[in-house]
Amino acid sequence: MAERRDGDEEEAYVIEIGDKDVVIKLEACNLSLVGKLVADKNINTGVMQAVLFTLWNKPTGFLIVEIGDKTFQFFFTDERDLLRMLQSNPWVYKNSFLL
């Protein structure tokens, strides 16, 4: 439950998440990998996604989300693409290891 305070009044907001939404998000995470880029420089996630998309043979539904400092979650829609990437590591991006 999230709370909001306006002066002396206190309001509570409830956000409901349906079972179907939870199942969809869990399935998406099942087809994802998390990796950390060992680099001193800042990384543009969009550029990295475009480069890796090409290098990794254009996996269907490929998406990168930055989830922390140089830590990324790589989403796939086809398990074969995910397994191919997993078996082919470590990867190098802009002269830095992606582990």
Q: For residue 22, tell me if it sits in a domain.
A: no
Number of domains in the chain: 1
Residue 53 lies in a domain: yes
**Is the pTM value of this prediction over 0.85?**
no
Does any domain span residue 58? yes
Domain of residue 68, residue span: 29-98
Per-residue pLDDT of the chain (99 residues; tens, 9 = 90+): 445 555 556 677 887 777 776 777 666 677 888 989 998 888 899 999 999 898 888 998 999 999 999 999 999 999 999 888 888 766 888 888 888
Asked whether residue 17 is domain-assigned, the answer is no
Domain contains 15: no
The CATH number assigned to the domain holding 80 equals 3.30.70
Is 9 a member of any domain? no
23 assigned to some structural domain: no
In which element (H, E) is residue 70 found? none
> Pairing mode, if any, of strands 32-38 and 2-6?
unpaired
